[in-house]
Amino acid sequence: MESFTVTQKERISELGGGPELMEQTFESSEERNKAFRELEKKLVRECRAEISKLVNEKHMTRTVETGRILEQWLMDEGFTKVVTPTIISREMLAKMSIDDFHHLSEQVFWLDGKKCLRPMLAPNLYVMMRELHRISKEPVKIFEIGSCFRKESQGAQHMNEFTMLNCVELAQVKDGEQKQELERLAKKAMEVLGVSEEEYEIVVEESTVYGFTFDIEINGMEVASGAYGPHDLDPAWGVFDTWVGIGFGIERLTMALNKGHTIKRYGKSIAFIDGQPLNV
Ligand code: ATP
Ligand code: MG
């Protein structure tokens, strides 16, 4: 009995073929190679059809669509979109408790001694929500969607550059009601994305930045992390009201929605588009 070679399996997997296709066995290597050529042709056709559909009809990748759906929902809820710099200072990170001794500091891409690529949106959002609250004297609801950067060991769920959507509400809920509001936002997000209640869970996770976070997991994979305050980090930012925030990983979410196995297919790439490989 012959099964597909390692190289053949890699190609099948690259073309989006699942394990059920790879486990086939054959009488001879000729038969196997013939079956591989046919399967490859079929998968290539399917990938090309998906890419054609993208450029001719959809005009928007699944990842872009995930972000758009969440953005629209948030604006309908009265959140304002803000856009802040990708390059942040060492002091901003230090205020998040990420100093040279923090394990996350090893994940930071430093541009020079004083500046780095942001690993998260929270530092800028702390400043924006504080200032908007000071000026408006009203509760503040804002969100940002943009690239974040972390040196990662490159597993199937991590990229060095990924897209985070972070929404925060300041002085919006009474003290004691933060957790409830966080759950409401998490549930609503899953609802607008069409994730059913059986498919996701809200779980408490330990965090080296926030102490603990409330994570949304789809089939066991973390797709978002939420936190709330008053929090130990707040005084350093001049924030003294209640707040509730959630950070969604847009590529992770898209991968989960598409039952994908590798995040890079859904990330910023010149090798993949909309989940499909370009070498077809
Ligand atoms: P993980 O434990 O999975 O590394 P995290 O808890 O460090 O994630 P958070 O800081 O909570 O990540 O970031 C919020 C969300 O951003 C995560 O829930 C995840 O969906 C996404 N995310 C974080 N790091 C990455 C990464 N390197 N690549 C892609 N998505 C990421
Ligand atoms: Mg997290």
Report whether 86 contacts 147 (CB < 8 A). Answer: yes
For residues 116 and 90, the answer to whether their CB atoms sit within 8 Å is yes
Q: To the nearest 5 percent, what fractions of the chain are helix, strand and coil?
A: 40, 25, 35
Nearest ligand atom owner, CA of 157: 1
Q: Residue 3 has which token pair? A: 């099964």
pLDDT of 138 higher than 90: yes
Classify the phi-psi angles of 141: left when phi > 0, otherwise alpha if psi is within -120 to 50, otherwise beta.
Answer: beta
Q: What is the pLDDT of residues 141-182, one digit of tens each?
A: 999 999 999 999 878 999 999 999 999 999 999 999 999 999
If pLDDT is split at 50, 70 and 90, which confidence band does 112 have?
Answer: very high
Q: Could you identify the residue written with the tokens 């009265």? A: 78
Which atom of ligand 1 has the smallest separation from the CA of 207? 6
Model confidence band, residue 102 (pLDDT cutoffs 50, 70, 90): confident
Cα separation, 99 vs 117, in Å, equals 15
Distance 270 CA to ligand 1 centre (A): 22
Q: Cβ distance 262 to 13 under 8 Å?
A: no
Separation of alpha carbons 189 and 257, rounded Å: 13
Ligand 1 centre to CA of 164 (Å) is 8
249 CB near ligand 1 (under 6 Å):
yes
Decide whether any atom of ligand 1 lies within 6 Å of the 161 Cβ: no
d(CA 141, CA 169): 4
- State residue 262's pLDDT score: 92
Report the nearest atom of ligand 1 relative to the CA of 159. 28
Cα(46) to ligand 1 centroid in Å equals 31
Residue 240 near residue 230 (C-beta atoms within 8 A): yes
CB 185 within 8 A of CB 246: yes
CA atoms within 13 A on the CB side of 207: 19
pTM, full prediction: 0.94
